[in-house]
Amino acid sequence: MIDKNFDPASFEQAIYARWEREGAFRPARPDAKPFTIVIPPPNVTGSLHIGHALDNTLQDLLIRWHRLNGRDARWIVGTDHAGIATQMVVERQLAQAQQPGRTAMGREAFLEKVWAWKEESGGTITRQLRRLGASCDWENERFTMDDGMNEAVLKVFVTLYKQGLLYRDKRLVNWDPKFRTAISDLEVETREVAGTFTHIRYPLADGAVLDSGADHIVVATTRPETMLGDTAVAVHPGDARYTSVIGKHVLLPITGRRIPIIADEHADPELGSGAVKITPAHDFNDWAVYERNKAIGWINILDAEARICAADGVPEAYEGLTREDARQQVVTDLEAMELIERIEQKTIQMPYGDRSGVVIEPYLTDQWYVNAAELAKDALSAVHDGRTQFVPKTWEKTYFNWMENIQPWCVSRQLWWGHRIPAWYAPDGRVFVAETEAQAQAQAGDVGLTRDEDVLDTWFSSALWPFGTLGWPDATPDLARHYPGDVLVTGFDIIFFWVARMMMQGLHFMGPERSDPKDRVPFRIVYCHGLVRDAKGQKMSKSKGNTVDPLDLIDKYGADALRFTLTAMETQGRDIKLNESRIEGYRNFATKLWNAARFAQSNGIAGSTSPLPPAASQPVNRWIIGEVRSAARALEQAIADFRFDAYADVIYKLVWSRFCDWYLELIKPLLGEGADAEVAAETRAVAGWALDQILVMLHPVMPFLSEELWHQLAVRDDLILAEWVKTDQLPEDAAASADIDWLISLISEVRSARTEVNVPPSAKLAYAVDGASPATLARLTANAAAIERLARILPGDVAPGGRLQVVHFEATILIPIGDVVDLAAEKSRLDKAMTAAIKERDALAGRLGNPGFTEKAKPEAVEKAREDHAARSAEAERLEAALSRLG
Partner RNA sequence: GGGCGUUUAGCUCAGUGGUAGAGCAUCUCCUUUACACGGAGAGGGUCGGGGGUUCGAAACCCUCAACGCCCACCA
What is the rounded distance in angstroms from the CA atom of residue 755 to the CA atom of residue 64? 45
Min dist CB 646 to RNA, Å, is 7
The answer to whether the beta carbons of residues 740 and 622 sit under 8 Å apart is yes
Angle of the 550-557 helix axis to the 107-132 helix axis, nearest 10: 30
CB of 91 to RNA, least distance (A): 26
Cβ 454 to RNA shortest distance, Å: 23
Reference 68, options 35, 39, 31, 22; nearest CA is 35
* Strands of the sheet with 166-176, listed across from one edge: 181-183, 166-176, 361-370, 409-410
Q: Which is nearer to RNA, 547 or 588 (CB)?
A: 588
DSSP 224: G
Least separation in angstroms between CB 875 and RNA:
10
Pairing of strands 340-353, 257-263: unpaired
C-beta closer to RNA: residue 26 or 658: 658
Alpha helices in 642-676 (DSSP H): 644-653, 665-671
Residues 6+ apart with CB under 8 A from 280: 229, 231, 286, 287, 289, 290, 296, 297, 298, 299
Q: Which of 89-98's residues contact partners 24+ apart within 8 Å by CB, and which partners?
A: 89/45, 89/117, 90/114, 90/117, 90/417, 93/117
**Read out DSSP for 325-374?**
HHHHHHHHHHHHTT-EEEEEEEEEEEEEETTT-SBPEEEEEEEEEE-HHH
Decide whether 53 or 267 has the Cβ nearer to RNA. Answer: 267
What are the DSSP E strand ranges found in 610-667? none
Q: Between 63 and 759, whose beta carbon lies closer to RNA?
A: 759
Distance (Å) of CA 706 to CA 241, 582, 655: 80, 20, 12
Shortest distance (Å) from residue 539 CB to RNA: 7
- If the CB atoms of residues 15 and 590 are measured against RNA, the closer one turns out to be 590
State the DSSP string of 260-310.
EEEE-TTS-TTSTTSEEEE-GGG-HHHHHHHHH-GGG-----B-TTSBB--
Return the number of the residue (184 or 367) whose C-beta is nearest RNA: 184
Specify the residue, 358 or 843, whose C-beta has the smaller distance to RNA. 843
Residue 182 or residue 596: which is nearer to RNA going by CB? 596
Burial 345-355 (b: 16+ CB within 10 A, else e): eeeeeebbbee
26 vs 872, beta carbon nearer RNA: 872
Three-state DSSP at 410 gives: strand
Which bin fits 604, alpha (ψ -120 to 50), beta or left (φ > 0)? left
Which CB atom, from 6 or from 298, has the smaller least distance to RNA? 6
767, HSE (Cβ side, Cα atoms, 13 Å):
15
User: Do residues 175 and 356 lie in contact, with contact meaning Cβ atoms separated by under 8 Å?
Assistant: no
For 783-800, give the DSSP string: THHHHHHHHHHSSS--BT
Considering the complex, what minimum distance in angstroms separates the CB of residue 288 from RNA?
8
- Least Å distance between CB 835 and RNA? 13
Residue 869 one-letter amino acid: H
- Residue number, 477 or 852, with CB nearest to RNA: 852
Question: Which residues have C-beta within 8 Å of that of residue 779, sequence separation ≥ 6?
Answer: 764, 766, 767
**Alpha carbon separation from 202 to 17, 280, 356, 420 (Å, rounded):** 75, 18, 36, 46
In the complex, what is the shortest distance from the CB of residue 649 to RNA, in angstroms, rounded to a whole number? 7
Q: Residue count of the chain, please give it.
A: 887
Distance CA 571, CA 584 (A): 20
CA-to-CA dists, residue 126 to 43, 48, 57, 189, 488, angstroms: 10, 9, 14, 30, 19
In this structure, how many other beta carbons lie within 10 angstroms of the beta carbon of residue 467? 27
What's the min distance (Å) between Cβ of 777 and RNA?
A: 12
Minimum gap (Å) between residue 313 Cβ and RNA: 19
Secondary element (H or E) of residue 485: strand 485-491
* Shortest Å distance, C-beta 435 to RNA: 33
CB of 788 to RNA, least distance (A): 21
Residue 220 or 252: which CB sits closer to RNA? 220
480/843 with CB nearer RNA: 843
Asked if 36 and 74 count as a contact pair (C-beta separation under 8 A), the reply is yes
- The CB-of-572 to RNA minimum distance in angstroms stands at 7
Nearest-angstrom CA–CA distance, 609 and 714: 8
Whether the CB-CB separation of 40 and 490 falls below 8 Å is answered with yes
Backbone angles phi, psi at 787, to 5 degrees: -60, -40
* Cis ω for the linkage preceding 473 (within 30 of 0): yes
| Residue 42 Cβ vs RNA, minimum distance, rounded to whole Å | 21
Looking at the Cβ atoms of 114 and 463, the one nearer to RNA is 463
Q: Which is nearer to RNA, 272 or 511 (CB)?
A: 272
* Residue 305 CB, nearest approach to RNA (Å): 22
**Which residues on adjacent β-strands are paired with residue 258?**
251
Per 3-state DSSP, what percentage of the chain is helix, strand, and coil (rounded to 5)?
50, 15, 35
C-beta closer to RNA: residue 273 or 630: 273
In this complex, which beta carbon is closest to RNA, that of residue 95 or of residue 271? 271
Of residues 455 and 698, the one with the C-beta less far from RNA: 698
Check the CA dihedral 235-238-239-244 and report its sign.
Answer: positive
Beta-bridged to residue 218, according to DSSP, are: 201
Instruction: Tell me how far, at minimum, the Cβ of 378 lies from RNA, in Å.
Output: 21
Least spacing, CB of residue 862 vs RNA, in Å = 8
CB of 656 to RNA, least distance (A): 6
